[in-house]
Structure 1
């Protein structure tokens, strides 16, 4: 594929293997009018733009008395999505991460793992999408659910350092003393409900996927293959978030994206960026080759090993936006699966409201990824050992074919954002700059008989608990600004997409 997208999009030939790359050198702003479409395998997918948006104040307090943090992941509870006229309603569950923290200064809290529950309402000026006016979104706090381990203890967001704990024969991160001592450390980043009301949560510390029942009690753990587990040079677990391990997931770069296929049989798990052994030397632009694991959960909710194991190449970008060589990787932040081989993947830069450094926003897009034709590494040394997928010169080995993708939804659409009072640049008159971290997505059907293939994509930000009045575990954690909790809703046409939300239509 060869396209021009605000920089360089190209294909390069490495030893006979076609490797897709995307290098973004100047801000990738949408310049063509909506709707915008992309063709993949003979199917045309359409982005019809923003349908609605809404926010919740950063200082909102949650059901456990802490500042409510948005949204490492979110999901409409299956069976609750309804439409009545021009109004849609549902129960929205959102996932905060490990609480307010500052790893550089070793500041953590004994933040209990939890889900937040909201009453979600969206009202559109035209339910068939004909009116491009501004729909409204509101989400009212409605309690939540505390997460508990096998023994009934709460989880903690505290840094585990070298602390370990074994449950059901599985070694887990757990602080030995001080904050959170004796509890399992959890940095929750991805959420997926199952049809029985239970759910999966993906973690950064151990790169585990935890399976919970509908009450929030831990029932099982998917332990990643050896290639993904954070290990020290002796092959022992190394769960700290303060420095990278010798192999496996990078620190703070764990299971950032996770989703079930619509039929509920396949669980897709994606690491935020390249494993340590797959990172090219030099700056952070060498972290583009991340791993995608696919588990068959039709017979066991916590299978021992994946049936699919792939490599996907993330975009790289110049964080100054001045046209220089890329020096950063656009980290993967969430996925949602369309069928057994295609999924949406949100990749983004680290700039925007709430970020330090004042760098320009360069890239925030949802990519449409396809596993067809890619090399399946399941059961190979790239999975059962710590072999790198890099070949000579720090590029993908010639005998490994990465997943293919095409850009689909560009969040950096100045005209579309402006309709909702949002902007890309800091200080734009009358506009709020969009947040740095967009990390949550979910798909729900439009329930429109005249447009049966239309869906809504909910996209939420992670505000890092940044609030002028912040409370965490009974202590103050105030910031200089309020970074509000925000949700954007895009209307899409996704032919062949099946619903697993058991929707109702009045």
Structure 2
């Protein structure tokens, strides 16, 4: 739950206590070890030792600017230097949480991009069942607003134009108010006082200092840039995600090539030596799928791409590009067997070539037509044997890696394997949660979009870590506040933000370096915004 937010109107309802009626009747479990499940991946054994804690943040909590504190599960980054174990067996540390473009279920709004800071306290529950969902405490401490030098803030409004490149930045998507349009989705805490943030609109990667001022922008290869035809039939950059502002209507459809609408850079990670930035597209580029119909798109969008940038240059250099084949799942809305793609929502580096990937289905869970999800999973990925296509013809929008969604035989994709099933009701039920009916506030919401890993510090299990997985609630509340206006979401629901904590064994995880002078990409400020609050 959230604490110390009375002055920010955070305690307007007690939704976190509305637990499933029969939860107290669950059988006691003898311990997390009984729920252990393991997979062998690239010769190593990875173990899920079970769910050990929950945090629930009320849907109507607000931040220091008076805006609803929703959507902050879009991205999560831990300050590993802050993580510690207390004498009472609890753990504490600092987390940075990233909201996306603001409340947008009824149209995009002029929500200023920002990064929140929380102090965490974890009291893991290894055995038994409970109706409490407060083993993880989130204490909100403040936020920074992303902005250009000079103070102009960013916006969540759908891009309406392009600001031409200058000596510092590439072409940038801008809204009707001339602010940079951002749909932030993932964050990396570098350790030198700066942050990398991935975006869906561009799809671009943005680099900010400790005050939120924009330092640098990575523009991906041309193959990723959304292109549409103008009134004269010419192909032009068009960064719109077909997401009209509140009160406006238009239908631009998907781009002709480049990233799909709302399928930009969802995954962002950094190598342990802090020299390489990895960026994963949510699902395939338009030219790498079959765009004949919405069904063929959803089936064939599984060949997505992962980019790797060397940060030891003033302008990051593309050094790797790999195809990642996302998992398929059975469509539950039709009686005819139909496969769909589980798009990815987050990336976390285990080392310089292996990753955790958060993949999920859509339209299943609390407030959705279907109360249950088919695929929500933290999976394993290895790019060491994959074909590196960086700098080749595939970086052009006219040369697909998967024509009509079929990967070329000359390209070897990364190795991918399912690992941790978030939908496991055996684990969820221990804490009063569930996947599937009844469709209530303890039914997991559709979107799970953030991950972080911290050490357990158990000398008997040196490769054990706590894995945090966070949800994005889309700012859905009946008591909302944004850009100076009150709102009530049309769903009629209050969707709280949840964070799940698992204990896992990750034998190949390498702790990231935190020396701020290890490389030059951060422009070395050497301190963090939490030192200024």
Q: Is this a same-fold pair by TM over 0.5?
A: yes
Farther off after superposition, 319-328 or 480-489: 319-328
Counterpart of 2:90 in structure 1 is: 87
Quote the offset at 1:492 in angstroms.
Answer: 0.8
3-state DSSP of counterpart to 2:423: coil
Q: 1:403 aligns with which of 405, 414, 421?
A: 414
Matched, 1:194 2:195: no
Determine if contact 2:75/2:449 at 8 Å carries over to the other structure. Answer: yes
Counterpart of 2:135 in structure 1 is: 136
Matched, 1:287 2:301: yes
Counterpart of 1:146 in structure 2 is: 145
Counterpart of 1:59 in structure 2 is: 60
The structure-2 alpha-carbon separation of the partners of 1:119 and 1:312, relative to structure 1 and needing over 3 Å to count, comes to same
Matches within 5 A, 1:8-407: 34-70=35-71, 71-85=73-87, 86-102=89-105, 107-125=107-125, 131=127, 136-164=135-163, 166-167=165-166, 168-176=168-176, 181-233=177-229, 234-242=234-242, 243-280=253-290, 281-282=292-293, 283=295, 284-297=298-311, 299-300=312-313, 302-304=315-317, 306-320=318-332, 324-358=336-370, 360-391=372-403, 394-407=405-418
The structure-2 alpha-carbon separation of the partners of 1:483 and 1:61, relative to structure 1 and needing over 3 Å to count, comes to same
3-state DSSP of counterpart to 1:382: helix
Quote the offset at 1:60 in angstroms.
Answer: 0.2
| Gaps in structure 1 of 5+ consecutive residues | 1-31
Quote the offset at 1:353 in angstroms.
Answer: 3.7
Determine if contact 1:161/1:241 at 8 Å carries over to the other structure. Answer: no
3-state DSSP of counterpart to 1:432: coil
Cα deviations by residue, 1:109-148 (Å, 9 ceiling, x for unpaired) = 110110111111101246xxxx466681110211111111
3-state DSSP of counterpart to 1:422: coil
Quote the offset at 1:302 in angstroms.
Answer: 4.1
Quote the offset at 1:325 in angstroms.
Answer: 2.8
Determine if contact 2:158/2:241 at 8 Å carries over to the other structure. Answer: yes
Counterpart of 2:431 in structure 1 is: 420
Quote the offset at 1:386 in angstroms.
Answer: 3.4
Determine if contact 1:321/1:362 at 8 Å carries over to the other structure. Answer: no
The alignment's TM-score, normalised by the length of structure 1, stands at 0.86
**Partner Cα separation in structure 1 for residue 367 and residue 171 of structure 2:** 34
Determine if contact 2:169/2:216 at 8 Å carries over to the other structure. Answer: no
**Partner Cα separation in structure 2 for residue 324 and residue 410 of structure 1:** 25
Give structure 1 regions of 4+ aligned residues with deviation exceeding 4 angstroms: 131-135
Quote the offset at 1:448 in angstroms.
Answer: 1.7
**Partner Cα separation in structure 1 for residue 513 and residue 123 of structure 2:** 19
Quote the offset at 1:355 in angstroms.
Answer: 4.4
**Partner Cα separation in structure 2 for residue 92 and residue 40 of structure 1:** 29
The structure-2 alpha-carbon separation of the partners of 1:312 and 1:33, relative to structure 1 and needing over 3 Å to count, comes to farther
The structure-2 alpha-carbon separation of the partners of 1:416 and 1:150, relative to structure 1 and needing over 3 Å to count, comes to same
Quote the offset at 1:323 in angstroms.
Answer: 6.3
Determine if contact 1:454/1:492 at 8 Å carries over to the other structure. Answer: yes
Determine if contact 2:378/2:420 at 8 Å carries over to the other structure. Answer: yes
**Partner Cα separation in structure 2 for residue 412 and residue 356 of structure 1:** 16
Cα deviations by residue, 1:308-357 (Å, 9 ceiling, x for unpaired) = 10111112233326664335321100010101111010110113444433
The structure-2 alpha-carbon separation of the partners of 1:150 and 1:385, relative to structure 1 and needing over 3 Å to count, comes to farther
Determine if contact 2:274/2:513 at 8 Å carries over to the other structure. Answer: no
The structure-2 alpha-carbon separation of the partners of 1:415 and 1:323, relative to structure 1 and needing over 3 Å to count, comes to farther
Determine if contact 1:313/1:403 at 8 Å carries over to the other structure. Answer: yes
Farther off after superposition, 243-252 or 278-287: 278-287
Counterpart of 2:7 in structure 1 is: none
Count, aligned residues: 457
Cα deviations by residue, 1:433-474 (Å, 9 ceiling, x for unpaired) = 011100010111112222111111100000000011011101
Determine if contact 1:353/1:483 at 8 Å carries over to the other structure. Answer: no
3-state DSSP of counterpart to 2:347: strand
**Partner Cα separation in structure 2 for residue 278 and residue 315 of structure 1:** 16
The structure-2 alpha-carbon separation of the partners of 1:460 and 1:271, relative to structure 1 and needing over 3 Å to count, comes to same
3-state DSSP of counterpart to 1:158: coil
3-state DSSP of counterpart to 1:351: coil
Cα deviations by residue, 1:56-115 (Å, 9 ceiling, x for unpaired) = 10000111111111311111124111111311111111100000113xx6x221101101
Farther off after superposition, 146-155 or 352-361: 352-361
3-state DSSP of counterpart to 2:135: strand
